[in-house]
Structure 1
Amino acid sequence: MSLRYSAGVLLFRRSPELQVLIGHMGGPLWAKKDASAWSIPKGEYELGQEDPRLAAAREFTEELGLPVPEGEWLDLGQVVYGSGRGKKQVTVWAVEGDLDPELIVPGTFEMEWPPRSGRTAEFPEIDRADWFDPETAREKLGAGQRPFLDRLVELALQR
């Protein structure tokens, strides 16, 4: 079993309460789902070939079409989730900053759609992004990413 590696950035702000920016996963498989269908902007990188923090910044920009806002990078650590060939180790940093979701220009991916049709279609990696309080974000994020939210809330209480 091989482990895949992914890195991302969880953008947060205080307005005045803590909010996080997450994205709804794009493509037809997620179009009609909301609970557990949102994600921290992140993406895969090759272990030993790329610095995880640089990969996190690159993936944030690829998925949202905007750079990570200036600010201190707070290490939220790593989480391993998934099973079988889908198992991945995700590393996330939190950055305090602001970003207008209306300005997002998502990256795209291609997949065969409809299934077994032989046709390829292009879809946005994230079809929308928005700011949510931690409680709402918890419902929207996939279970494997929720520990990062817990860690951010804990850090925010200390600051």
Structure 2
Amino acid sequence: MAAKRSAGILLFRRQPDLQVLIGHLGGPLWSRRDAAAWSIPKGEYGPDETPLDAARREFTEELGLPVPATEFLELGVVRQGGGKQVTAYAAEADLDLDRVVLGTFELEWPPRSGKIQRYPELDRLAWFAPEEARDRLIAAQREFLDRLAERLLMPHPPAAG
């Protein structure tokens, strides 16, 4: 069985210092956690979709806003616990968090109760300096912060977009 694949967008802005936009994972399993309980907006995709197309779609589904019209920097792939492969792209843009409409998912909760409840995929979003974001992000995704810093110091050609 192939590993699940996911793709997302790491927005960043300079205000004047670098900040990244990440979201706290929604649902009852994450509600009392802060450390390693945040993620870039991302989601799974199948063989008929490119990682960048999936990242753009998931951004819109999870935040309820169109993807900012900007260039994308490839940040590569990391493997999260459980084997999921996550591809990320960075994009420089500001985002008005008051306009966000968070996407939801359904989950049987409590487990084996037969009760299906709806939860936000991300229950809140925030801008953080990379140092503040590091401990909050899921461990494997911290690599994206390092790769973003490298790309900003030594610019590479943007991904197709």
**TM-score bracket for the superposition, by shorter chain length:** over 0.9
The equivalent of 1:136 in structure 2 is 132
Deviation >4 Å, runs of 4+ = none
Q: CA deviation at 1:158?
A: 3.0
Describe the superposition over 1:43-79 as per-residue Cα deviations: whole angstroms up to 9, x where unpaired: 00013x1111110000011111112111110011111
TM-score w.r.t. length of structure 1: 0.93
SS of 1:62's partner is: helix
The equivalent of 1:122 in structure 2 is 118
Question: What is the alpha-carbon root mean square deviation over aligned residues?
Answer: 1.1
Opposite residue 115 of structure 1, the aligned amino acid is: P
Q: CA deviation at 1:32?
A: 1.1
TM-score w.r.t. length of structure 2: 0.92
Matched, 1:98 2:94: yes
- Bigger mean CA deviation after superposition, 16-25 or 148-157: 148-157
SS of 1:63's partner is: helix
SS of 2:53's partner is: helix
Q: Is the CA contact (8 Å cut-off) linking 1:101 and 1:128 kept in structure 2?
A: no
| Structure 1 segment 27-106 matched on structure 2, within 5 A | 27-47=27-47, 49-82=48-81, 86-106=82-102
The equivalent of 2:159 in structure 1 is none
Opposite residue 109 of structure 1, the aligned amino acid is: F
The equivalent of 1:3 in structure 2 is 3
Determine what percentage of the aligned residue pairs are the same residue. Answer: 63
Unaligned runs of 5+ in 2: 156-161
Size of the aligned set, in residue pairs, is 155
